[in-house]
Structure formats: C-alpha cells, structure tokens
A and B are shown apart, each in its own frame.
Chain A
Amino acid sequence: MLKIVVCVKAVPDPEKADQIRIDPVSKALVRADVPLVLNPLDKNAMEAAVQLKEQFGAHVSVLSMGPPPAANVVKECLALGADQGILLSDRAFAGADAYATAYTLARGVEKIGSYDLILCGRASSDGSTEWVGPELATLLDTPIVTMVEEIIEYGDEWWKVKSGLDNGYRVVRVKLPAVLTVTRELNTPRTLSFSGIIKARRKQISQWGIDDLDIPEQAVGLKGSPTIVSEMTTQESTREVEMISGTREEMAERLIQKLADAGFLASS
C-alpha cells in the first residue's frame, strides 16, 4: 500500500489577508484577527492523495507545522480523507523561514516513518516562496518534481508526471520515494462532506513538539532560520490621479481622448 504524506500549511484566510498591514508610523505589523485556513494549493495536494487512496489504496498522513489553531486545518484534511493527522507545534518553531520550516517538516516525516510519496502545494498563499517542497526533498535526500500538473503513469518504482514551464511543459520520470509539488491544474478539490466530518471526529490529531522530534532549539524557528526580516517600510506613490467623470459614455470618450493625446490611439 502506498504511504503518502501531505504537507499542509495553515495560512491567513486569503480573502481577509489584506487586513494584515504594516503600520506606516510604527513600521510594525498590524495584526488583524484573520482566521487560519487550509492553503488553497494544499487542497489540490490533498485531493491528489485521496484520489490515489481511492484508486490504489493508500495510507495518507497529513503533516503541518503551525500554531495550535492550525489543528483545525489538519482536522479538515482528516475530514477530506486523510488517515492520520500530525501538527508540529511548539513555541520554539515560531518565526521559521523556508529553510527552518523544511528542516522541521523533514524531522516530522522521519518520525512518521517510511513513505512513498510526499505531496506539497507549489506555493503558500502568504509567504509564497515555493521553497519548502524542494528544500524538504533535499533534506530528506529524495528526488523532487515541482509544478506537477498531471500524473501520467504510475509504475511500481518510477512515475511519469507532467510539470509546468513558462509556455509549455516537461514530461519527467521520477523514482519513488519522491516529493511532488502540485498546481491547481492537477485536479478539482472536492468539498467537505458531512460523512467525512463525522468520520474525522473519531480520528486523533497528534501534536509533536521539539522534544518529540528530538532536535536542538538552535535548529528550528527563528533561531534555525538563516534569513531574518531586517526592516519593514511603507511606500508612497509618486503619481497624482485625475479622476475622469461623466456618464459611462462620456467617461469612455474622455479616456479615449486622453489616450489619443498621449499618442496611444490613432484614428484611421
């Protein structure tokens, strides 16, 4: 049976994330009360795992590093069909950059045990670096294919996948165990079902901290992060807007006149 680990991130709800702003005066973050949700592309990763489970049979573990409220996101994945949910949560994990995140997740994967496949989203909606999948793969010494749009062939040892390029794609053969980061083209994530939610109630979420992973404090969180934020600033625009008013037709005509005057439109 395939053993799959899906890495999921709890992110500030993208619909409301613009409420978290840098204060122009204090230059500190204004923390609005934005709820944490499942990172959009991680839904595609979960969907891929559940489809594989339905097709071939699989044991699906969900792994997330985040603050205690991220447990709700893990619970959601259990309701979507995951068998096991693990939240890596510890004060010491806070402030992790992509490297420290990948490092902590790698230790989590090792504690879960053996795996055939690790699925990640291509990017998170907040940090959006796209580094966690490839860094995790490197730290586990596992091959990786990023931007997977389609799984073309499932062999016993080698899989064939399609991965996106700018204006095109590549077809790649990869040897399992492997890490794949997925795009939204891969599938259409299912929505939560009532029976899934009921079943998930019986599933336990394990919470692992730094002692469970047996790693030193200097290796995780802010201390384990090679990068730090040195400064935050706000920017002022240098443009002065002229609002164009009138009826809809008048506004269109006035805009056309402005564009024509600036040399962007020519009449025949």
Chain B
Amino acid sequence: MTTVEFRHGPVWVIAEQIEGRVRAVSFQLIGHARKLADELGAPVEVILLGESLDEPAQQLIAAGADTVYLGDDPDLAFYHPEIYTEMIVRLAQERQPEIMLIGSTPMGRELPALVAARLRTGLTAHCIDLVLNENMILEQKVPGYGGLISIICPERRPQMATAARGVFPSPELDTSRPGRVAPLVVPKEIPHRIETLEIVREEPEGVPLESAAVVVAGGAGAGDPGGWREIQGLARVLNAALGSTRPAVDEGWTELETMIGQSGKVVSPELYLGVGLSGELQHMVGIVGAKVMVAVNNDAKSPVFEQVDYGIVDDCREFVPVLIEKIREYQTK
C-alpha cells in the first residue's frame, strides 16, 4: 500500500447524533468539507461519538468522509462535555486538522469553544459561508453591522467554525464511495465534574420551521403579546411555521426555537411573510432560496422593502386581523 502525502492537514467535521441518528447539519457540513478538502488537496475526516453507530458511520462515508473516527461506547451516547472534549482534543493534536467544522446546535454552541480554548485557536460562530481565499485560508463569513464580515484565523490551527442547518445543502449520498472507519477508545482518566442526569425532549408544536413550505415571521413591530397572537393566527390560517426575530424572543412573546437568522434557524420556504420586522441582515440570512417574499411594515422607508417581492405599508396590528379574515373568506369561497 502506498501512503498519500497531503499538503494540508485534514478537513474535520464533528458530527452529532441524537439517539443514534446523525443530524442533518452534520451531513451538510461533510458535503461542504468535501469541497474545501478537494480544493486543499486534503482528506475529510469525521468524528462521530455515540453508541451503536456502525450504519451511520457508513452514511458519513457516503456523504463524503474519507475516514470516520468512531467512538462507540455507552458513555458516549449523550453529549458529555468532558469526555467529548478530551477525545477530540487528543485526536486533533495527533491529526493536526487544518479546518474543523461543527453544526450550530445546542452541543455546537458549547463543545467547539471547549475544544478551541484547549487548542488555543480561533473559533467563528454562526457562519453563513465558508470559502478558501487565494492563500488557501478559510474566509468565515458572518453578518454584522448591516453587511458581511469575513473572519480569518491566519496562523493557528485548526481554523474552527460553526454553521447552522440549512446554510449548506445536503450532499447526495454515494454508497459506493470508499472510506474507512477507525475506532476511538474512551479515555478513562477524565475528571467527571459534570454529569447529565436526564434529557427531556419535547415535541415541538405546529409545523417545523426548517422544513416548512410557508413561514410567517414576526418582529418587534408586533408591539405586545396581543399583536403577537395575531401573527400566530396568520401562521395558523396559512398552515405556516411561525418564525421570529430576536426582539420578539427577548420580549418573551415566543421561544428561542422560533428565531430565524444568523444565530437562530435557517429556513428555506417557498413563501416567506415578514411582519413588523426591519429586514436586518442577521435575520434575513436565515431565509435561503425563498420563491416569494412579502413584508408588512408601517414604515414605508423600512429596509425590509428592499429585500422582498411584495410590500404592504400598514400597522400590522390592524392589518393582520383583516388579512386573516379575508384569507378565511377566500378559503371557504
């Protein structure tokens, strides 16, 4: 057997599984890692930790991984910050990855920071694009100040970044792709100062945002819980998923799970209706490939109107109840 010499260290993806199923965002990141790795002339290596994962490991190879480092152990079934960090850090010190990508999930909002601080490297949060520049350095794009900021980690390695589900497309699975699975063992001498006693999963209400064909999103313009209930009502008559902006979450009208945008969810509906929101880029980057976009805002000069197909200037608290009524009439006509 000949060994291939790579110019750059591998491109890594830290995959995540829930109850033995690999999350969609992990596949999407592997798809993107494949592209970056091909440009770099480097392999894609995926770390998957959990229990009973032989079949999922094969799927990761089909998605684009050259090697899957598989930790298969009952102690790894749930995300455990101390064990996961230790395993990833040790392997990273050995493999010297060039790039490390992780999905912006609850795990991905904590684990990469634990790893980055141990490796003394940079970490960019909630990226909306990741591209290699002419020096083969990863430009990590995040929205900010009404534009796009490109963050780079010029010297230290790996270059670490997180991105939400939906930022990158799901790759085609090719079950004929070759790849290997390398087992990882759980280190025994870990401090165990954190212990997960229980995980409770609640069924989300209504239509799930990420797969919804129609999304109605409300913002600060809803004004109060009453105004928010009208927007919820509009989502219901349209059989749409309800989305929100950060102020709506901060006001307590809705849960963080409904927030669309850079630090929330990425949606790709066919129809998007934004009500009482200003079209701030951090929200708008969460809407990808919508066919038709509509905005309702009481300020004719709102920047949201530069980013949609149809605009209505009106007080949403007055307009939405009328719209709901008219939709009902139309539906029963």
User: Using a CB–CB distance below 8 Å, which chain A residues touch chain B?
Assistant: 18, 20-22, 24, 29, 40, 97-99, 102, 123, 128-131, 133-135, 137-139, 143-147, 160, 164-175, 178, 183-184, 225-235, 237, 239-245, 248-249, 251-253, 255-256, 258-260, 262, 264-268
Contact = CB atoms under 8 A, between A and B. Distances in A.
Nearest to A242: B310
A231 B312 contact: no
Contacts of B306: 237, 239, 241
B194 A241 contact: no
Given A228-B151, A255-B310, A167 B203 contact: yes
Contacts of B113: 98, 130-131, 133-135, 138
B150 A173 contact: no
Interface of B: 78, 81-82, 85, 105-106, 109-110, 112-114, 116-118, 120-126, 133, 139, 144-156, 191, 193-204, 214, 238, 250, 252, 256-257, 263, 270-271, 278, 280-281, 291-294, 305-314, 318-319, 322-323, 325-327, 330-333
B314 A248 contact: yes
Contacts of A255: 294, 310, 312, 323
Contacts of A21: 145-147
B293 A171 contact: no
B148 A227 contact: no
Contacts of A178: 193
A243 B313 contact: yes
B291 A131 contact: no
A-B pairs, top 10 by smallest CB distance, nearest first, are A226-B122, A227-B122, A138-B117, A134-B113, A22-B147, A143-B193, A129-B125, A135-B117, A168-B201, A175-B193
11 contacts: A138-B118, A143-B82, A166-B105, A168-B200, A172-B195, A174-B194, A233-B150, A241-B311, A243-B311, A256-B323, A258-B310
Contact of B318 (A128, A229, A248): A248
A164 B151 contact: no
A264 B312 contact: no
Contact of B150 (A18, A40, A229): A229
In this complex, the member of A102, A184, A259 whose beta carbon has the largest number of chain B beta carbons within 10 angstroms is A259
